[in-house]
Amino acid sequence: MTFVQVLSGRQPAIAVPITATTAAALEAQVAAVCVSPAAIAEWRLDAWPTVSTALAKQVVDRLHAAGKLLLVTCRTQAEGGAFAGDSSAYVALSQRLLALGPDALDVEARFAAPTITALVALAHAAGAAVVGSHHDFSATPALATGQALLSAQATWADVVKLAAMPQVPADTLTLLTLSAWAKTTLACPAIVIGMGALGQLTRVASGAFAPALTFASLGQSSAPGQLSVQAIVGIQGASV
């Protein structure tokens, strides 16, 4: 199944992070992903953007051999990641990794239109889906603002994502409402996630409120409030 198809199921697909900064840690994390229940590995290249092409190719091949899909993400400092390069460096890194055959590329919606257009073209030429993403680590947008953000991303992305930091319980309800709206309004899968303790409900929501993809940890989380993959699988099993 393609990346978009996997995100179109009744239950949210599960992605687990690869955040290694050394070859030994990368080996351990990839091995853990390959035997995990997760369908998708999200490789956070911002943790190690200088990884060699040869080693990166081994990772892609191992994950695919294990039946896992690969989402390549280079999260910038502006959106909570470690990547400090400019947009040209971001495009260059994405182009190098896309040549190895990942299934999807995360593209931050904050980039200028020419950069987004270039990244989308590169991803689609490589046969990869595009996840348009927006992150807010300080607040949760109002419902109308969130709808506008996701609608704008849907004009160029195959999958849309909005991750925000709830400050009060009402913010969590806003995100759940946004997720339900996206399911019935947008033509593409939508990932609406709340970070931190207040956002955990959005990570395990089901039915009308479920995100297309939920991010879980295999020991080390890549975002605040992330639950373990075992916890997510257990909750999903209980809701069947």
Catalytic positions are: 135, 161
Specify the pairing of strand 159-164 against strand 190-194: parallel
**How many other CB atoms sit within 10 Å of the CB of residue 66?**
14
**How many other CB atoms sit within 10 Å of the CB of residue 21?**
12
CA dist., res. 200 & res. 193, Å (int): 8
Q: Angle between the 87-98 and 53-65 helix axes, to the nearest 10 degrees?
A: 50
| CB distance 135 to 160 below 8 Å | no
Q: Which of 89, 96, 25 is nearest to 56 (CA)?
A: 96
DSSP string computed for 11-69: SPEEEEEE--SSHHHHHHHHHHHHTSS-SEEEEEGGG-TT--HHHHHHHHHHHHHTT-E
Local structure of residue 203 (DSSP, 8 states): H
The three-state secondary structure class of 162 is: strand
Beta bridge mates, 190 = 160
Residue listed under structure tokens 């609608």: 151
